[in-house]
Amino acid sequence: MNVRVPYLSEEAIEADAESLLAEYQLAWHPTSIPPVPVEDILENFLGLSLGFGDLREMLGFDDVLGATWVEGRSVVIDQSLSPEHPGTVEGRYSFTITHEIGHWRLHLPLCWKDPAQMGLFEEQRCQPSIVCRSSLAKERIELQADKYAASLLMPRKMVLEAWRGEFGNLNSHYFSWDGPCFSNRPVFIDNQPVDLENPTHRDIVIVEEFREIARRFALRFGVSVQAMQIRLENVGLLLRERPLDLFSSRTPF
C-alpha cells in the first residue's frame, strides 16, 4: 500500500486492542478467559465478512497471508492457513485474522476510498485495500498490525492472570549461566540432557526453557508458541537477562 503510515506507539496500539476487547465484552460476550474469540469479534462484533480463498492465485503473490477489502467490509485469509488445511497451525490462523482486525482498527482511514466505489465490491474483481505478505512483514503498517494482533489475542490482563494462576505470583522468570533460576528441573533438548555448564548451549537452553513455559500458555491462548513467547517477554514475565538489582551482591551476568 503506497500511503504514508503514521507512527503509533506500542502503548497506543495496545490501548486500542484493550478497548476493542472491552467493547466486545460489554456488548457481546462477557468472556474474560482465553482464548479470545477473534473470529466472533471480526464477524459478529465488527460486522466484517470472513472468507477463505486462493489469494496466491487471485492476487499473484506467493507469500500472501490475508487481505482486507475496506469498502466491502471483507477479510479473506489465504486457504493455506485455513484450519482444516493439512499442516495448518491454529495459532497462525488466529494471528492472521487478528492481524487483519488490527488493520481494520488502525489503518481504516488510510485505505478508505471514494464512497462511489462502494457498490463495486466483488472480491475476485476489485483489488483489496490491504494485502498482507510475509515478505513485507517488516513494513511499519504490518508491524503495527502484528502488535495489535499480539495485544488482542494475548491481552496483558489475561496474560498476567494466567501467569498468576500458573505460578501463584507475578514474579518474572529469567535465566542465568547456571540454569533457570526458578526451576530445578533438568533441561532437555530433543530428549537429550543439556550440559548447563557448557556455555555454548546457553542460548539454546534459554530458548528451550522459554519455549516450555510459552508452550503451556500458547495452548490456553490459542496462539503459536513463538507468538506467546514474544508476548511473555514483552509483558515482562520472561526475561532473557537477570534484571539489575541495586541491592544484590551477585553480579548480573
Partner 1 sequence: MALKDKKFGDTVRDLRKAKGMGLREFAKKVDMSPTYLSKVERNEFRPPAEEKVVAIAEALDQDPDELLGLAGRVPSDLAEIVRSRPREMAAFLRTAKSLTTQEIEKLTQQAGRRKKRSKR
Site residues (CB under 8 A) for partner 1?
Answer: 39-40, 43-44, 47, 49-53, 76, 79, 82-85, 123-124
Query: Given the complex with partner 1, which of 1 and 50 has the nearer CB atom?
Result: 50
Minimum distance from residue 118 beta carbon to partner 1 (Å): 16
Query: Given the complex with partner 1, which of 88 and 176 has the nearer CB atom?
Result: 88
State how far the Cα of 127 lies from the Cα of 154, in Å rounded to an integer. 31
**Quick check: 132 and 81 in contact, CB under 8 A?**
no
Query: Given the complex with partner 1, which of 77 and 214 has the nearer CB atom?
Result: 77
Query: Given the complex with partner 1, which of 97 and 225 has the nearer CB atom?
Result: 97
Query: Given the complex with partner 1, which of 76 and 154 has the nearer CB atom?
Result: 76
**Quick check: 13 and 148 in contact, CB under 8 A?**
yes
| Residues in a beta bridge with 175 | 180
Minimum distance from residue 146 beta carbon to partner 1 (Å): 23
Minimum distance from residue 75 beta carbon to partner 1 (Å): 10
- CA dihedral sign of residues 150, 151, 154, 156: positive
| Residues in a beta bridge with 69 | 74
Minimum distance from residue 43 beta carbon to partner 1 (Å): 5
Backbone angles phi and psi of 176, in degrees to 5: -120, 180
Query: Given the complex with partner 1, which of 179 and 222 has the nearer CB atom?
Result: 222
Minimum distance from residue 251 beta carbon to partner 1 (Å): 53
Contacts of 112 by beta carbon, 8 Å cutoff, 6+ apart: 70, 71
Minimum distance from residue 83 beta carbon to partner 1 (Å): 7
Concatenate the DSSP letters of all residues of 70-121 into one string. TTTTEEEEEGGGSTTSTT--HHHHHHHHHHHHHHHHHHHHHH---GGGGGG-
All three cell numbers of 173: 522468570
Residues shown for the chain: 253
Contacts of 199 by beta carbon, 8 Å cutoff, 6+ apart: 177
